[in-house]
Amino acid sequence: MLNAIRKGESFVPNLKGKDFLRLADFSKEELGWLLETAVQLKKAQKQGKSQPFLSGKVLGMIFEKSSTRTRVSFEVGMMQLGGQAIFLSTKDLQLGRGETIADTAKVLSRYVDGIMIRTFGHARIEEFAEHATVPVINGLTDLHHPAQVMADLQTIYENKGHLEGLKLCYIGDGNNNMAHSLLEGAVKMGMDISLASPAGYEPNSSIVSQVKKEAVTSGSSILLTGDPREAISGADVVITDVWTSMGQEEEAKERLATFAPFQVNEELCGLANKDYLFLHCLPAHRGEEVTEGIIDGPHSVVFDEAENRLHAQKAILKALLAG
């Protein structure tokens, strides 16, 4: 288990009723406990053991951005835990026709036991959580993607046996949700992190300032650079993401030219450690941010990573809705 992450065998946090908006809101021990729970739930599911921790519970799922992994993993996760999930698009809600976020949050809190939201601006989910009286879970915003990074950390742990002291390298758009949540998660768990991005695409300055303060306590090192070769040197884990995210389609042509030197390919990965892992949150654009030889190669664990969305999120759901 993740004993190296936890304070001790008896450590069990009380997260019931808490929101899950960003990883910075949780301690190293709390995140370690969630990861350990995810590993246990995955093992039980593989063994066919019943997991009715959320029997009678209902999760409302609001989607303002489309999804494959987020919708299916949360919906299946609730089913496997004995509960149910309701899919709600903005086409189905008065929220899409002008009802306020506050009113929607207050009403839905009377019907369901938790709410997962996949949306655009992070301020939207913060406002929703402020007015909701049930736990609110971030399924993705433009600023953070904490559920995905929990799956990433679980995948790294399962393959490496530990997290602390590993070097994680992210190459690509630094001002996106994956980069921000990776910064928060890696530093929180005592990992070193290097991030390479083009000029003008650096991570959010307030998040950088916050994680640098966290690094003083965790002992992590943080490298922000415009040189992908410098960033990937000696890396244990290499991660990238699409260069053009939802809502940025008009910038696609410009981004393709800007990010071309930041492609994760065989030559670049030759600078990583020989046993490096490659992760990508998917969907991927093969031939753009990553070559086929890397994403479909022997170092890639992207489909284990995708599967772990289910198990990491089950741990989150169990902790927030059942305790």
pLDDT digits (tens, 9 = 90+) for 34-78: 999 999 999 999 999 999 999 999 999 999 998 999 999 999 999
Examine the domain organization and report whether 277 and 132 are in the same domain: no
67 is in an annotated binding site: yes
Cβ-based burial of 274 (10 A; exposed 0-12, middle 13-18, buried ≥19):
exposed
245 is in an annotated binding site: yes
Examine the domain organization and report whether 165 and 130 are in the same domain: no
The whole-number pLDDT of residue 186 equals: 98
Examine the domain organization and report whether 176 and 285 are in the same domain: yes
147 is in an annotated binding site: yes
246 is in an annotated binding site: yes
Whether pLDDT at 152 is above 90 = yes
51 is in an annotated binding site: no
70 is in an annotated binding site: yes
Examine the domain organization and report whether 39 and 135 are in the same domain: yes
pLDDT digits (tens, 9 = 90+) for 171-189: 999 999 999 999 999 999 9
Q: Is 41 left (phi over 0), alpha (psi -120 to 50) or beta?
A: alpha
Examine the domain organization and report whether 275 and 312 are in the same domain: no
The rounded percent of the chain whose pLDDT value lies above 90 is: 90
The whole-number pLDDT of residue 65 equals: 92
The catalytic residue among 6, 22, 80, 148 is 148
Average pLDDT, the chain: 95
Examine the domain organization and report whether 190 and 297 are in the same domain: yes
The whole-number pLDDT of residue 323 equals: 85
How many domains are contained in the chain?
2
Whether pLDDT at 1 is above 90 = no
The whole-number pLDDT of residue 280 equals: 98
Examine the domain organization and report whether 140 and 89 are in the same domain: yes
Examine the domain organization and report whether 151 and 131 are in the same domain: no
The catalytic residue among 118, 144, 180, 255 is 118
281 is catalytic: yes
The catalytic residue among 236, 241, 269, 311 is 241
Strand bridging mode 114-118 / 192-196:
unpaired
68 is in an annotated binding site: yes
282 is in an annotated binding site: yes
Domain CATH code at residue 123: 3.40.50.1370
pLDDT band at 246 (very low <50, low <70, confident <90, very high): low
241: CB partners within 8 A, 6+ apart: 170, 172, 173, 176, 178, 179, 280, 281, 289
145 is catalytic: yes
pLDDT digits (tens, 9 = 90+) for 96-145: 788 999 999 999 999 999 999 999 999 999 999 999 999 999 999 999 99
Of the candidates 262, 178, 209, 188, the one whose C-alpha atom is nearest the C-alpha of residue 33 is 188
Whether pLDDT at 295 is above 50 = yes
169 is catalytic: no
The whole-number pLDDT of residue 8 equals: 46
* Residues spanned by the domain of 44: 5-144+308-321
The catalytic residue among 122, 144, 145, 299 is 145
The whole-number pLDDT of residue 4 equals: 44
The catalytic residue among 6, 22, 255, 309 is 309
For residues 225-240, average pLDDT: 98
The whole-number pLDDT of residue 98 equals: 86
Examine the domain organization and report whether 120 and 236 are in the same domain: no
Examine the domain organization and report whether 24 and 153 are in the same domain: no
3 state SS of 171 = strand
Whether pLDDT at 5 is above 60 = no
Examine the domain organization and report whether 176 and 122 are in the same domain: no
The whole-number pLDDT of residue 96 equals: 74
3 is in an annotated binding site: no
CB 38 within 8 A of CB 154: yes
50: CB partners within 8 A, 6+ apart: 82
309 is catalytic: yes
Examine the domain organization and report whether 17 and 128 are in the same domain: yes
148 is catalytic: yes
69 is in an annotated binding site: yes
For residues 160-174, average pLDDT: 98
**Which amino acid appears at position 269 of this protein?**
C
Nearest-angstrom CA–CA distance, 90 and 88? 7
